[in-house]
Structure 1
Amino acid sequence: MSLTLTPNHPAAVHLRRLFLAVITGSFVFLLVWIIYLATSLPEHREVAHWDVAWVGFDCFLVAAIGMTALWAWLRRPILIPWAIITATLLCCDAWFDIVLDWNTPELPISLLSAGLGELPLAALLFYAARRLIRLSMAAAWARSGRGEPPRMWRVRMSVLDRPAAPRDEHPAEH
């Protein structure tokens, strides 16, 4: 038996307030942190384990791409967050490659890698995730008899809340 909370349930209200406090506090903290870093970090610094940092990051990136591919092949909705995670990591990779290669002979390679590989793939993944969310919303709205859904940014999180339908033990494969 699972407990389904409505948006006005006291536990749901408490969790939402807690989430908002944490995320807003993080936002404010990071603004202050950025100012501190911008004024205090040295322009040049030698670091140990540079190779571990980059190989480790690329391992996370390849794992994310693999998970995205897996869920895409299996046609599962878990693809959506994996596509967003992978696209974000690709943008980070492009950013750091370009910034860290600035004023070096490797800059053209980093620019080509970002412009022809990482950023186009990230854009495709962000677009696919957005499109899949829109298609899911459209299907849910059509099932509810509401017609065409509005833009995503206009829909409240609780707009589709209804009591859960009984689960089918063996959903059809698509």
Structure 2
Amino acid sequence: MDLTDEEIAAMTPAERRDLILRLAPRPPGMPSRRAIDRIRKFRTALMLVCVAALIPWTVYLAITLPSHYVARNWVATWVGFDILLVAMLTLTALAGWKRKQFVFPAAFASGVLLICDAWFDVMTSQRGGDLTQALLSACLVELPLAFILIAGPLRLLRYVAVRHGMIHPESRLWRMPIPIPDLYPDHKVPPRT
């Protein structure tokens, strides 16, 4: 049976998603549903343990760290960080140029590194011209670029999910589910409200 473009356009998102799943067999090497659930639960628990440990650690540091400290390896720290930033921006550019999905994590990581760079530049600058330069760089370059690098791929990720029928076109990004359950016809996911 051949479907016309008009018949496909008339389908609901759920019908298109069902058609996609019927046309695309389960990928080889895909872990079982049980393994995916176990990994998700373990990683979620691990993140919660990290959060629980980081809160008292942050309070401890706030109380005990000196307000002034002479750092070792200052130059190597900043040059190394900038090399990492250049590498991530290069990976982002290459992934975007070649239209590879690796652009999503590379751009997100690059954006986060730019936010960190802006934060530490501002927080470690001397008052006066050094601080002014750090603030201008943060506000005019680093933070706007970070926003583009984080928001752009997230919007593209949402577009890809909508285009492939994995989510409803009006779904908000923060409510977008991971479509793993849809790979298993025997496991129906209730519609989100």
Common fold: TM-score over 0.5: yes
Give the conservation status (yes or no) of the 8 Å contact 1:84–1:126.
Answer: yes
Q: 2:172 aligns with which of 151, 155, 166?
A: 151
Q: Which has the higher contact order (CA 8 A, sep 6+)?
A: 2
Corresponding position of 1:123 = 147
Pair 1:137-2:126 in alignment: no
Q: How far has the Cα of 1:160 moved from its partner?
A: 6.0
Q: Give the conservation status (yes or no) of the 8 Å contact 1:6–1:161.
A: no
Match of 2:19 in 1: none
Please state how far the C-alpha of 1:102 moved relative to its aligned partner: 4.7
- Residue 64 of structure 1 is aligned with which of 88, 99, 113? 88
- After TM superposition, which residue ranges in structure 1, 4 or more long, deviate above 3 angstroms? none
Q: Contact 1:61–1:86 at 8 Å: present in 2 too?
A: yes
Q: Secondary structure at the match of 2:30?
A: coil
Question: In the alignment, which residue of structure 2 is the partner of 1:89?
Answer: 113
Matched, 1:3 2:24: no
Quote the offset at 1:12 in angstroms. 2.1
Change (3 A) 1:16 1:147: closer
Partner of 2:171, secondary structure, is: coil
Change over 3 Å in CA distance of 1:73–1:91 after alignment to 2: same
Matches within 5 A, 1:104-115: 104-115=128-139
- Note if contact 1:137-1:149 (Cα within 8 Å) is conserved in structure 2: no
Unaligned segments of structure 1, at least 5 residues: 164-174
1:78 aligned onto 2:102: yes
The verdict on how the C-alpha distance between 1:147 and 1:89 changes in structure 2, with shifts beyond 3 A counting, is closer
* Counterpart residue identity of residue 54, structure 1: W
Percentage of pairs with the same residue: 34
Count of matched residue pairs: 159
Q: What secondary structure does 1:106 align onto?
A: helix
**Whole-Å Cα distance in 2 between the matches of residues 122 and 12 of structure 1?**
32
The SS at the match of 2:183 is: coil
Q: 1:91, 1:122 within 8 Å by CA — same for their partners in 2?
A: yes
User: For residue 51 of structure 1, what is the aligned residue in structure 2?
Assistant: 75
1:65–1:86 contact (8 Å) kept in structure 2? yes
1:103 is displaced (CA, Å) by 2.5
Q: Give 1:34's aligned residue.
A: 58
* Cα offsets for 1:1-23 (capped at 9, x unmatched): 8332354x2x2222122111111
Pair 1:108–1:18, CA change in 2 (3 A): same
* Distance (Å, rounded) in 2 between the aligned partners of 1:88 and 1:38: 23
Residue of structure 2 in register with 1:162 after alignment: 183
> Residues 68-107 of structure 1: CA distance to partner in whole angstroms, max 9, x if unpaired?
1111111111101111000000000000000101525300
Distance 1:46 1:160, change over 3 A: same
Q: Which one has a bigger Cα radius of gyration?
A: 2
